[in-house]
Amino acid sequence: MADFGEYPPNMAPQDALVVRQQAEADHAVVPYTAEDLSRPATGPLNPFRDQTTALKRKNVLTGHAEETFISEHTFRAKHRAVEGRGGPEREHQTNRELKAEAAKIRATREGKGSAMITEGAGAYVGPWAKYKQKEYEIVDEDHELASDEEYEIVEEEEDDDVIESGTVVQAPSDALARREAEEALGDETSTFHGAEEHDYQGRTYMHVPQDLEINLRKEVGSIKNYIPQKQIFSWKEHTKSAAKAVTALRFFPNSGHLFLSAGADATVKIWDFYHERELLRTYSGHSKAVSDICFNTDGTQFLTASYDRMMKLWDTETGKCLNRFTTGKTPHVIKFNPDPEHSNEFLAGMSDKKIVQFDIRKPSETIQEYDHHLAAINTIVFVDNNRRFMTTSDDKSLRAWDYNIPVPIKYIAEPDMYPMTRAASHPSGKYVAYQSSDNQILVYGANEKFRQNRKKSYRGHNNAGMAIDLECSPDGQFLASGDSAGYVCFWDWKTCKMYHKLKAGAQAATCVQWHPQETSKVITAGLDGEIRLWD
């Protein structure tokens, strides 16, 4: 037996090669054992290294073992890539076999055609030639299949599915039936829920009450406002339906003795703010959720916009639907023109990037279209004594327009801008506050230049991913906004300081309205369907 002490087994590879050339015949193979291979690396141990991790990386007889972690998606992608190239057995094929497979695939491809022919049979297709599909034998239904044969029954293709150019295709019967069902759901009805429609003098709920401690006929904003402190009442009628979210709230113009609420249950309800605080009337006529509502200047009529792509004009007192408007697209926001000269006209921001202008006396005609936006319209605000209006869109821009002129006079789109989903004009008429989707409220001037007021930015609430309402107090001293976590936040308009934060439900508070005549009364609503009154 040779003496291996002269040639130690842990010799470096480059030294081993030199020694091996000079070694005797019985020294040609160095017998490394498993114990030698599993010895730890030379040197002191690292006290900060996990020993269990070190044991996983020991040498083995066949090489060096390591653990790795890959996701299931990555493994499947790699596996499909290998299988698509023929699998592991492809590595053992010769070049001749690989070339034969490629030739078979090329044989199934159609010819390139003649470059002299442009159309018809034999036309030139060049590198766009298709591959022939596998053809299967067609077997008759009464034909018996042999036990050792396999057939696939293929139905003959009929030419009825082939439609020539210019052919008018009739709508499918199921689509017509669905459309008729939606139209049937859209029949307008109104239900009165109050104790009595007329009082002892024959007056309806439209009459502004005068038996209260507060004068509801005074000028809006003539008294000082304060921030509410607690909840004093709630209306829960919307919570009784499956789709219980409240999508919009609007006070009756000037007096505020009534207010409207629109819900995801496709209904609009009008409520008495004073006396019994009861539900007075429900307006039903939409087949999908109501997206926006708007009173006219005197409150005798109001508009509703819905996701069923319809806009409807209602009589506030009788509940009758007076007119219907549609462009075939979904209206997101709707606004009456406050100008007395154009009180019969309204604007609607649609999902197809357009702002359309209608006259309530001509429901079948579109008076004007403003189509410079690049995405769905979010807000419409009248400014400059109602001679102009400002719009925002999901295209992260703000545009200002002259009324009746479909060309924007101002275009604002900065790289750091986010979509602005809701807007509220300041009572002074000089500013418009916008709910920006980056959890802040921005203020833009409503004068000639429409510049952003960089000194005013209201933060501290969360609105990302939702359209959260905001509202200025009638005297312009405070700004209120909802929150996606269910809070109602109040800021000082001048200092931008947050004064108060009220918890208004477990779900998002999306609607906020400040009473036009009270000092500190605010109503809120949201996804939970409950309308809350704060004072």
Look up residue 308 and give its two tokens.
């069923």
- Amino acid of residue 29: V
Instruction: Please tell me the predicted confidence (pLDDT) of residue 96.
Output: 87
Per-residue model confidence as pLDDT tens digits over 168-220: 555 566 556 656 655 554 578 999 988 888 888 888 888 998 888 888 988 88
CB hemisphere CA count around 452 (13 angstroms): 16
Higher pLDDT: 121 or 461? It is 461
Q: Which of 45, 41, 15 is nearest to 30 (CA)?
A: 15
Question: Is 443 buried (19+), middle (13-18) or exposed (0-12) by CB count in 10 A?
Answer: buried
Residue 347 has pLDDT above 70, yes or no: yes
Per-residue model confidence as pLDDT tens digits over 230-265: 999 999 888 887 778 999 999 999 999 999 999 999
**In contact, 9 and 31? CB cutoff 8 Å:** yes
> How confident is residue 8, by pLDDT bands cut at 50, 70 and 90?
low
- Is residue 410 assigned to a domain? yes
Residue 268 has pLDDT above 90, yes or no: yes
Residue 148 has pLDDT above 50, yes or no: no
> How confident is residue 150, by pLDDT bands cut at 50, 70 and 90?
very low
Q: Which helix (H) or strand (E) holds 16?
A: helix 13-22
Beta-strand pair 522-526/531-534: antiparallel
Helix (H, G, I), strand (E, B) or coil at 526: strand
Instruction: Please tell me the predicted confidence (pLDDT) of residue 3.
Output: 52
Q: Strands of 440-445's sheet, edge to edge?
A: 420-425, 431-436, 440-445, 452-459
The alpha-helical segments, DSSP class H, found in 161-228 are 173-185
- Is residue 140 assigned to a domain? no
Q: How far is CA 145 from CA 6, 150, 255, 431, 456, in A?
A: 80, 7, 85, 83, 83
Paired with 350 in beta bridges are 331
- Is residue 238 assigned to a domain? yes
Per-residue model confidence as pLDDT tens digits over 87-122: 777 777 788 888 888 888 888 888 888 887 878 888
Q: Which residues contact 201 (CB under 8 A, 6 or more apart)?
A: none
- Is residue 142 assigned to a domain? no
Residue 22 has pLDDT above 80, yes or no: no
- Is residue 5 assigned to a domain? no
- DSSP conformation letters of 445-479: E-SSS--EEEEEEEES---TTS---EEE-TTSSEE
Distance of alpha carbon 408 from alpha carbon 533, whole angstroms = 40
Instruction: Please tell me the predicted confidence (pLDDT) of residue 158.
Output: 45
User: What is the dihedral angle through the alpha carbons of 398, 403, 409, 411, rounded to the nearest 10 degrees?
Assistant: 10
Q: How many domains does the chain have?
A: 1
- Is residue 69 assigned to a domain? no
Instruction: Please tell me the predicted confidence (pLDDT) of residue 157.
Output: 45
Share of the chain above pLDDT 90, in %: 47
Higher pLDDT: 464 or 354? It is 354
Look up residue 177 and give its two tokens.
């039936």
- Is residue 254 assigned to a domain? yes
- Amino acid of residue 326: T
Q: What is the mean pLDDT of the chain?
A: 82
Per-residue model confidence as pLDDT tens digits over 32-83: 666 776 676 677 777 776 665 555 555 566 666 667 778 888 888 888 877 7
Q: Which of 46-60, 156-170, 359-373, 482-496 has the lowest mean pLDDT?
A: 156-170
Residue 139 has pLDDT above 60, yes or no: no
Structure letter (DSSP) for residue 287: S
Q: What is the CATH number of the domain that holds 364?
A: 2.130.10.10
Instruction: Please tell me the predicted confidence (pLDDT) of residue 387.
Output: 93
Per-residue model confidence as pLDDT tens digits over 388-434: 999 999 999 999 999 999 999 999 999 889 999 999 999 999 999 99
Instruction: Please tell me the predicted confidence (pLDDT) of residue 151.
Output: 43
Share of the chain above pLDDT 70, in %: 78
- Domain of 364? 189-534
pTM of the model: 0.66
- Is residue 84 assigned to a domain? no
